[in-house]
Amino acid sequence: MYTFTQNTKSICFALIAIGIVAIGYGFYSASKTHYSDAEIKVKVKELYKGLSNKNKIKKDKHHASSVYKFSHLFHAIEKEFHCHFSEEEIANAQSIDDVIYRTKHYFHAKKQRPWSSLFVSNLFFLMISLGGLVWLAVQYISQSGWSASLLRIPQAVSSFLPFGGAIMLFIIITGALHWHHTYHWMDSSLTYEYVYENTIGTDHPQYTDEKVAGVVKNKKYDYIIDGKTAYLNIPFFIIRAIIYLLGWCLVAFLLRRYSLNEDKEGGLKWHNKMFALSAMFIVFAAITTSTGAWDWIMSIDTHWFSTLFGWYSFASFFVSACAVIAIITIHLKYSGYLENVNENHMHDFGRYLLAFSIFWTYLWFAQYMLIWYSNIPEEVTYYLIRFESYHILIIVALILNFMTPMLLIQDRAAKRLKGQVLFVAILILIGHFIDVFVMIMPGTVGTHWHLGFVEIGTFLGYVGFFTFVVLRALSKVPLDQKNHPMLIESKHHHI
């Protein structure tokens, strides 16, 4: 029986407090300096006029040195609105409309920032929890003996699913209510070809697909997104999310109950039931992790698609889940529990981490290389923004997720050391958080990204929240499954 000490609890609560402060600060600072689109348009035009009168902006559009012709305007805007533009944004502006668009974009990103950081952390820990459940199911269907004495740990990891799932649903529903713009395609103005002329400029323009009297072409119409509405529409999206989350939570609940029944009754009955349920769950998880990744992550960059995205993101979450299970096992080992777990089990954790880190790198590179080689505009946009604005994070993620496991736990002796596996597992966890960050942020806050107090604070808050939920679930049931048929094999596991 694991006791959740007051000391660990206090650390969790402190981390949760940091998280709440960080996300609260994020929402506060986003709401404090927010300008509406109309306000921005009016003010930028005023500034433009003022500067034009002073002859600071050359009106000759074909002038050779027109590259920085809007730089004065941008600087005036920076002063007026207290914002900041990158060199590229300033250099690439071609007209006054571009300047207005850029300014609007800056404030949209600012408003989106706390939502995105909440979304990144929540998705990361929700999917780790799911990865833990898949890991548990894999142990059952592969009839693994080595892990039999530590299966309560992935069980406890999967107990975070309802919490993460509830917040995920909250984020999706608030997105559908247009509180934030994580999912660009939820904007209904993009999918209608025509708009009623008399409603343009009002707060709620009326759109239609039919060419009737009184309509004009909708300027915002996006035919690519319109072509995807059969799959990407709000009701179906929410129904899918509920199906995934209910399915995952149900399996997590059943596997936990079956294993508790096995403790009470013994015999092979419950073990066989868990085997059958795990086999069915693996099929369900194989489909839902792919479609879930398309829905929740890939649809952020709505125009873009990649066929192996589901596996790529799942590889990321699965290796993170392996790292979390290894970290909790080592924590329990350091606190004097799990006397049957020894360096042979560490060796297996090391192999899991190394193998899935390389699997992740393989999928990352497979996706990248095909897009780089074919160089099709609709695909390459995904990496364009990432390589221009997020290259530091991509390099750090590749070093943490590929180079560190490759170099630090390749050796047999290294895999058998608790401390070394723990160190690499923590680095992998940080690396994959950065990887998820790079999956989400370019499509939501664009070039105006930060990895500052709001993002890191929210992440730390989630670390506390997740640890609290998982360790509390772990402390409620006996740490050993006393009637698991392969306990003896696990005890004498030797490699």
Partner 1 sequence: MSKEKIIYGVYGDDDVILDAVKAIREKGHHIDEVYTPFPIHGLDTAMGLKYSRIAICSFIYGCIGASCALFMFWYIMIHDWPMNIGGKPSFTLNENLPAFIPVTFEMTVFFGAHLMVITFLIRCGLYPGSSSKSPDPRTTDDKFLMEIHTNGDAKKIKEIKDLMKKTGAEEIKEKE
- What is the footprint of partner 1 within residues 46-85 (CB under 8 A)? none
Nearer to partner 1, 65 or 374 (CB): 374
Q: How far apart are CA 235 and CA 231, in angstroms?
A: 10
Task: Among 27, 368, 423, 453, indicate the residue that binds partner 1 (CB under 8 A).
Answer: 368
Please report how close the Cβ of residue 417 comes to partner 1 at its closest, in angstroms.
14
3-state secondary structure of 486: coil
Nearer to partner 1, 284 or 365 (CB): 365
Strands 207-208 and 194-196: antiparallel
- What is the footprint of partner 1 within residues 412-451 (CB under 8 A)? 412-413
Contact of 119 with 173, CB cutoff 8 Å: no
Please report how close the Cβ of residue 370 comes to partner 1 at its closest, in angstroms.
10
Nearer to partner 1, 27 or 365 (CB): 365
Tell me, residue by residue from 325 to 364, as one string, x for binding to partner 1 by CB under 8 A and - for no binding. ----------------------------------------
Please report how close the Cβ of residue 300 comes to partner 1 at its closest, in angstroms.
25
- What amino acid is encoded at 101 in this protein? Y
Nearer to partner 1, 196 or 365 (CB): 365
Nearer to partner 1, 42 or 413 (CB): 413
Distances in Å between the Cα of 167 and the Cα atoms of 133, 232, 293, 307, 357 are: 19, 21, 17, 27, 28
Nearer to partner 1, 51 or 358 (CB): 358
Helices vs. strands in the chain: H and E counts, helices first: 19, 3
**Which DSSP helix (H) or strand (E) runs through 324?**
helix 309-334
Nearer to partner 1, 13 or 387 (CB): 387
Q: How far apart are CA 323 and CA 317, in angstroms?
A: 10
Distances in Å between the Cα of 467 and the Cα atoms of 11, 83, 133, 470 are: 10, 37, 16, 5
Please report how close the Cβ of residue 348 comes to partner 1 at its closest, in angstroms.
15
- What is the footprint of partner 1 within residues 179-198 (CB under 8 A)? none
Number of residues that bind partner 1 (CB under 8 A): 12
Nearer to partner 1, 264 or 373 (CB): 373
Q: Which two tokens stand for residue 113?
A: 């920032």
Please report how close the Cβ of residue 408 comes to partner 1 at its closest, in angstroms.
13
Query: How many CA within 13 A on the CB side of residue 475?
Result: 12
Q: How far apart are CA 108 and CA 95, in angstroms?
A: 20
Task: Among 32, 82, 87, 373, indicate the residue that binds partner 1 (CB under 8 A).
Answer: 373
Please report how close the Cβ of residue 150 comes to partner 1 at its closest, in angstroms.
22
Task: Among 101, 221, 359, 365, indicate the residue that binds partner 1 (CB under 8 A).
Answer: 365
Please report how close the Cβ of residue 224 comes to partner 1 at its closest, in angstroms.
24
Nearer to partner 1, 163 or 365 (CB): 365
Q: To which residue do tokens 């193998």 refer?
A: 355
Contact of 428 with 398, CB cutoff 8 Å: no
Surface-to-core class of residue 252, CB atoms within 10 Å of its CB (0-12 exposed, 13-18 middle, 19+ buried): buried
Task: Among 13, 68, 223, 372, indicate the residue that binds partner 1 (CB under 8 A).
Answer: 372
Q: Which residues pair with 215 in a beta bridge?
A: 196
Q: Which residues pair with 196 in a beta bridge?
A: 215
Please report how close the Cβ of residue 174 comes to partner 1 at its closest, in angstroms.
39
- For 429-451, b/e burial (b = at least 16 CB within 10 A) is bbbbbbbbbbbbbbbbbbbbbeb
- What is the footprint of partner 1 within residues 28-47 (CB under 8 A)? none
Please report how close the Cβ of residue 259 comes to partner 1 at its closest, in angstroms.
30
Tell me, residue by residue from 378 to 417, as one string, x for binding to partner 1 by CB under 8 A and - for no binding. --------------------------------xxxx----
369 binds partner 1 (CB under 8 A): yes
Residue 384: CB atoms within 10 A of its CB come to 12
Please report how close the Cβ of residue 304 comes to partner 1 at its closest, in angstroms.
19
Contact of 316 with 436, CB cutoff 8 Å: yes
Distances in Å between the Cα of 383 and the Cα atoms of 111, 400, 410, 451 are: 24, 20, 30, 19
List residues binding partner 1 (CB under 8 A).
365, 368-369, 372-375, 410-413, 494
